[in-house]
Amino acid sequence: MITIYHNNRCSKSRTGLQILKNSGKPFEVVTYLEDVPSENELKNIISLLGIKPIELVRKNEAIWKEQYKETELSDADLISAMVKNPKLIERPIIINGKQAVIGRPPEKILDIL
């Protein structure tokens, strides 16, 4: 099953959702601002993406600039910050089995469909 971690207020996320709809493949939508991933879920997502936690952080968010930018954070601290403030999580994230991508640009989603 394909999963998209989606924020409907984000144009890239909406485009990613449309790509999935156009694929005709079954998928599920996780509105991660409401259904916030746990620390373990985020660790798994980061592992599937093959990135470091800092690479999943939206550094232009006001929360990041006000609360975290000037602080030295461990990977565990970054994951905790994203769970506490899910707006910090980059989007959209698409997972297909053991493959995952951040849909920026949205066309990257096609690589794992």
Task: Give me the number of domains the chain comprises.
Answer: 1
pLDDT tens readout for residues 22-79: 999 999 999 999 999 999 999 999 999 999 999 999 999 999 999 999 999 999 999 9
Q: What is the pLDDT of residue 58?
A: 97
Q: Distance of CA 34 to CAs 11, 81, 99, 105, 113, Å?
A: 18, 16, 24, 24, 26
Domain assignment of residue 36, given as a range:
2-112
Question: 3, 10, 30, 99: which is the annotated catalytic residue?
Answer: 10
CA 53 – CA 69 distance, rounded (Å): 14
The reply to whether 10 belongs to the active site is: yes
CATH number at residue 99: 3.40.30.10
